[in-house]
Structures are given as C-alpha cells and as structure tokens.
Amino acid sequence: MIQYVFRPKRNGCIQKSYRGRYSIGETPRLYDIALRTQSKEVAELRLKEIAEEKEQELAGLIAPRGVREGARTLILSHLDDFLGYLVKQGRAQDYIKKIRSRVPRLCRECRWEYPPDVTADSFRKWCLQREMAPKTLNHYLDSISSLFNWMLSYNRVDRNPLKYVKKVSNSERENEAPRAFTLVELERLFAIAPYYRRVAYQAFYYTGLRRKELRALEWDDLHFDEGHIQLRARTTKSRRGDLIPLHPELANILLEFRRGTGRAELKKIFYKGVPLAKSLKADAEKAGLSVVDDWGRELSIHTFRRTFDTQLQLAGASPLAVQKLMRHKDIKLTAKTYFDAEQLGLQRELVKIPNPLSSHIASQNSGHNGKGLSQFVQREITEKEKSSSKVVDIEEIRTLLSKIVQNVPNGELVLRGGLEPPHLSAYAPQAHVSTNSTT
C-alpha cells in the first residue's frame, strides 16, 4: 500500500494546500485526491481515513461514499436535482410537471423520506389502497422509477428498489379495438359544433395530429404556398421536426378562420386551446352520436387520429404512406392498433364469395372440374377462330363439349349452372330416347 502527502507545483510555484496519493493492496492504481488543508499532520490523517474507507468499499464492507451520502439525502432534494437535469435535457414541460406532482405525492402517502425507505412492498400496498385506473398507477410507477434510474446512473443509490415491480395489468383496455368516426358521424358532428370547435375538429381530422401537437401549432408553422406543415421538434411526441402535407380543404378552412377571428396578430392558431374530451362528448350527444358504442369503445380526442388512419386505409393509400402520415416508427401500429376494422364493411365483402351451387354439375360427373372444362372449350374455340374469320356458333360448341361429356343427352347447354342433364334419370344407364319421338 502506498500513502503519502505532498504540495503540488503550479507554474513553478509550490502550492500551500496538500494533496494525497494512495493505493489499495496490490492493485497498481494510484488514487490522487485533494486534502484541502495546509497542515501536513491533518493532511496525513485525512489521507489515512480516506484510504481505509476506500479499502472497505472495495472489500464490500461498506457502500460507496456517493451511495452513503445519497441515503442521507431527502428524496425531494434528489428530485430537485433530477428536475433540473430534465430541464437542461430539453424535456417537455408537461412531462416535468407530472413528475414534480407525482413523486411528492408518493413520498407523502407512502411515508418515504429517504431513498432506503422506498420498497416494492410499500408501493404495492399504496396501489391497492387507491381507486385509480391501471394506466394512472403505471404512470406513478414510471415517474418514481425514472427518478431512481437517474440516481443510479450518478451513483446516488446502488439499485432501483422498484426495478422488478410489474405494471398493473389493463387487459380490457389493451385488447380494446380502436374506434374511429364514420364519414356520416363526422358530417353530423361538424354540422352542430360551434365554429371554433368545428375548425379544431376539422384540423384533427385532416392532419391526424395529437391533441398537444395541435395545441402548440402556430401560424408560422403553416406554409400555404408550399402546401405543408412544419412541426417543431419540441412540440411532437417523438421530438422530431416532421414535415407533413397540408390538405387543400384544411388550408381554406384555416385561412377563413384567420380572417373571421380578427386575431391575425396571435401566434397560436387555436388561441383558446383545443377542445377537451368533455366538449367532444357534449357535441357528439347533440349530434345524436353514441359516446360509448356497442363494443364499449368511448369517444375521445384521439378518435380523430384513429379516424385519420382508418379513412386513409379505406381510401386505398399505401401502407407506407399511411405510416409516414401517422409518423409511426412501427407499421404494425398503423395497420392494426389505429385501424378501425368495423368500418371495413365485412358483410359487403362477404357476399363476394362465389356460390358453390352454381358450379358445373355435369363436369363433376364426367370427372372434369369446371375450370378444366372451360379452359378446354376456350382453347378449342380459339383454334377455330384462328383458322376461320367466322364466329363459332352454338352447334360447334355442342360438338366440342360432347367429346368430354358422355352422360349428357344431346350435350344440352343451359343458360345458368353450366352443363346439366334435362332430368336426373339421365345419370342412370338407360336407352336413349329419340328427340323426334313424342310422349
């Protein structure tokens, strides 16, 4: 073990304060620390204490200094540092605001003061005592976990006590199919909504923007001449500055809205904010729409975004184009999670399936399927047409069919159902009756 104190030189001058160097055991690493004293005896004593402490840390007898100091610091003090870090990282104000409110509530109601007080069992009991939606409980878990993950990265704790806490299951919501407006529902909603809210609803429908993204939209973000909208990175969920096309109909609506409000000097388009779910439900009820449909799916502002996705796919837009317009990273989210399959018109599509009762009965009895029979006839007719400019008449077709259909008297051809015998008895072996005889 190496231990000694010294006064370093700087610019050729010996400094007054001492520094110390030491090593632990046989390890070659040499630690250099500032002792912050001008007394050699005090410096040697401090160095000895620091070296002994470091040796115990490496042996696992005590926790690292940062962890020990972190354990003696209030959680709310750690939270202040964490929030300052989030501000410097440019995180959304709404996200910071929610963490600032959720963590103190957890500390107060779970009686957490210092990091060692936080346990998975105490959080589980808190969840059982609260009548909150599973999604809300999971948001609280995310907030406190993000704090402890940050503390772990800065050696303020040695572990995250909530790392293995599972999120509350919300199987009903997770398996719930998305709901989208039909075009008829949109027409009725737009017809009764007040002007300001109607323009906001139309903006939701023609852009597919999320509520917070539309609320932050400014007039400078709209480029009417180029026909696009420039989304600022700090206003989007993914923190990307995306460029999306501006629908011509929406462009006319917004230009008229700007002239009609008389507030051209305002930066934000929706200066009063965007409608809440409460307002949407009230407008929907006035329009005679069901707030909760037969499948238990409730209307929300996000229904417009799902409608945007659904209508694009129903209109035949390519999957990749819809994904880009929705600004999704995963195309599965676009094709499955946001698409309302109830608007596919499954009953209308079902009737397109062919009716097997209209197949060629005669072809089944002759051992030929309908497809092979039609291909044979078409091939023979084509050869006839090549050798003659005349159109092949029905008698020639009868002659061709008689080559492969043995049990059909006279090779009779009916208008529907393919080739069929005149009566079922034709399938039984019997003497042929002359067509000229009378009964």
Concatenated DSSP letters of 307-374: HHHHHHHHTT--HHHHHHHHT-SSHHIIIIIS--GGGG-HHHHHTTS--GGGS-HHHHHTT--HHHHH
User: pLDDT-based confidence at 432, cuts 50/70/90?
Assistant: very low
Q: What is the pLDDT of residue 346?
A: 66
Q: What is the mean pLDDT of residues 331-340?
A: 79
**Average model confidence (pLDDT) across the chain:** 82
Mutual angle of helices 302-314 and 319-326, in 10-degree steps: 160
User: pLDDT-based confidence at 231, cuts 50/70/90?
Assistant: very high
CA distance 181 to 305: 10
Is 201:304 a contact under the CB 8 Å cutoff? yes
pLDDT over 90 (residue 301): yes
pLDDT over 90 (residue 108): yes
- Residue 104 is encoded by which pair of tokens? 């103190």
Q: What is the mean pLDDT of residues 305-321?
A: 91
Place of tokens 């005889």: 437
Question: What digits encode the pLDDT tens for the residues 30-77?
Answer: 889 899 999 999 999 999 998 888 888 887 888 888 899 999 999 999
Q: How many helices (H) and strands (E) does the chain have?
A: 19, 8
> Among the residues of 59-182, which ranges form H helices?
65-71, 75-88, 93-110, 120-129, 134-153, 171-174
Helix (H, G, I), strand (E, B) or coil at 117: helix
Pick 381 or 258 by higher pLDDT. 258
Cα 280–Cα 285–Cα 290 angle in degrees, nearest 5:
95
Nearest to 309 by CA among 296, 321, 293: 321
**Terminal-residue alpha carbon distance, the chain:** 127
Is 365:407 a contact under the CB 8 Å cutoff? yes
Using CA atoms, how far residue 124 sits from 108, 115, 129, 180, 322, in Å, is 15, 17, 9, 36, 41
Give Cα 288 distance to the centre of its chain: 30
User: pLDDT-based confidence at 436, cuts 50/70/90?
Assistant: very low
pLDDT over 90 (residue 296): no
Q: What is the mean pLDDT of residues 143-155?
A: 96
Q: What is the pLDDT of residue 377?
A: 47
CA distance 56 to 36: 23
Say if domain 71-174 classifies as CATH 1.10.150.130. yes
Question: What digits encode the pLDDT tens for the residues 351-383?
Answer: 666 767 655 444 455 454 544 545 554 555 455
Query: Superfamily for 183-346?
Result: Intergrase catalytic core (1.10.443.10)
Is 121:30 a contact under the CB 8 Å cutoff? no
Using CA atoms, how far residue 26 sits from 2, 11, 22, 277, in Å, is 10, 34, 12, 68
Residue 11 CA neighbour count, 13 Å, CB half: 0
Q: What is the pLDDT of residue 177?
A: 62
CA distance 44 to 54: 15
Q: What is the mean pLDDT of residues 236-240?
A: 84
**Which run of H or of E encompasses 6?**
strand 3-6
